[in-house]
A and B are shown apart, each in its own frame.
Chain A
Amino acid sequence: MGAGHGHRLHFHGHSVVHRAPAHVKILLLLAFVLTVVATPRDWYPVFGGYLVLLLGVVVASRVPLRYLLPRMVLEVPFLVFAALIPFVAEGPRVVVPLIGGLDLSLSESGLVAAWGLAVKGTLGVLASLTLAATTEPTEVLRGLQRLRMPDLLVQIMTFMVRYLDVVAADLGRMITAMKSRGVDPRSPRHWPALARTLGALFVRSYERGERVHLAMLSRGYDGRLPESSAS
């Protein structure tokens, strides 16, 4: 199949961080994120401490930062939103002189809010990426199972991990077929066609779901995944 092999967030390794049990890592991540979010945003040095701690874990995991940083682009829309706050927020304003004699008027409280959003978001994303880079998706699921996450949710996530590549490959083939007939997916003129493709993909995935369910029933599925097969 043409889809990329392996999950693109995972970085193969054997460090301490890689070998730590998944459920411990999930709990630590949760605690870390909650602590970061609960910290008042004007305790500036504390955030420096968090960053040092996090970078320490990254160094111990031997996952190169060059690997993690490009994957942080998923945070960009969030940062754009944060960057808008100083322009639209109320309250006392500071004036930043720009080159060319122009002045930029920014809200003080908006700047602090933007800082808080950006720093907390970045720390959270980096910590989550570190978990993803050091833990196979199936390990994360097993960790969640050990943490007594409802079985149904774990099952749904298991199937998501399993079929992500299949559905992405389906979509890839449909787009290739469209391109072969002269459609440029980037051009807004062809977006209606693209939307129909997504609709078709949904129907195909839904039907595949039904076929998978049949195959499961045929092998005696009764609503629970057997414990041994959570790997």
Chain B
Amino acid sequence: MTPVLDVRGLAFAYPDGHQALFGVDLHVHQGERVALLGPNGAGKTTLVLHLNGILSGETGHGEGSVAVSGLPVTKKNLLEIRRRVGIVFQDPDDQLFMGSVRADVAFGPANLGLKGAALDKRVMDALEQVGMAAYADRPPHHLSFGQRRRVAVATVLAMEPEILVLDEPSSNLDPASRRELADILRGLDVTLLMVTHDLPYALELCPRAVVLSGGKVVTDGKTYDVLTDDALMRAHRLELPWGFDPRTISIDSLPG
């Protein structure tokens, strides 16, 4: 089966010479939920920006290839690649730039050529999935941070992506919003790659975890196994929050 995400030998150096990735291999199959873990500066954001072609060998010095459901990420395929890969950025204020929630969610699908009733339906369906349909006509900057994060997810869902990539989805959320977002993400029928420092969140949502460190994939396995491997965790500056021990969680409540 063709993986949804097929990253092979990806290396990248920024134009200023700083090398961020040293040969990354990553395969994500349909329906998987994968956590991408790693310390600050490991190259997570650089990797994410490669997935939809914002960064590539053309913008810096790079090697290797990225393909999404068999379609290689090249300049020619960019629009289709950006439909297939939906990235939710960390700060919703960067993502929500139109005057109303409805217009913002419509931005992506309208760029894909959707119009009229089909566009409206796409927008409302996406807002429905994140529980924000009642706010369609509000300006985004009047919403709470948690609501804006959910609308940001909807803006990407409206493009019906094959893989949803979330950059730090739980950051700056209060515990209730964090749990609500987890419920929403768990309910989505879409392949998910989640970049996060929130290890309990990764364990709660993603059966599989990939650790990126120093621009390389150092581990790829079950999230539970990664988080309980003390030597590995220490070696890559990963730490569980104080008082949190995955071993005390019953196996039945883990995803997968």
Which of A's residues lie within 8 Å of B, judged by CB? Answer: 1, 3, 5-6, 137-138, 141, 158-159, 161-163, 165-166, 208, 211-212, 214-222, 225-231
Contacts and interface: CB of A to CB of B under 8 A. Distances in A.
A166 B141 contact: yes
Interface of B: 49, 52, 54, 79, 82-83, 85-87, 89, 91, 93-95, 97-100, 102-104, 106-108, 110-112, 115, 119, 141-142, 145, 155-156, 159
Contacts of B155: 219
B89 A211 contact: yes
Contacts of A158: 98-99
Contact of A229 (B49, B82, B107): B107
Nearest to B115: A228
A117 to B, nearest CB: 36
A161 B85 CA distance: 29
Given A211-B94, A226-B106, A229-B110, A218 B100 contact: no
A219 B86 CA distance: 8
A166 B106 contact: no
Main secondary structure, interface of B, reads helix
A216 B97 contact: yes
B97 A212 contact: yes
A109 to B, nearest CB: 48
A230 B110 CA distance: 11
A220 B82 CA distance: 6
What are the 10 tightest A-B residue pairs by CB atom distance, in nearest-first order?
A: A226-B110, A220-B111, A219-B108, A229-B103, A138-B99, A211-B94, A215-B95, A231-B103, A229-B106, A218-B87
Pick from A163, A165, A226, A227 the residue with the most CB of B within 10 Å: A226
A4 B107 CA distance: 26
Contacts of A141: 99
Given A218-B85, A219-B111, A231-B99, 11 more contacts: A161-B99, A208-B93, A211-B91, A212-B97, A215-B89, A217-B82, A218-B89, A219-B107, A220-B83, A220-B159, A221-B107
Nearest to B94: A211
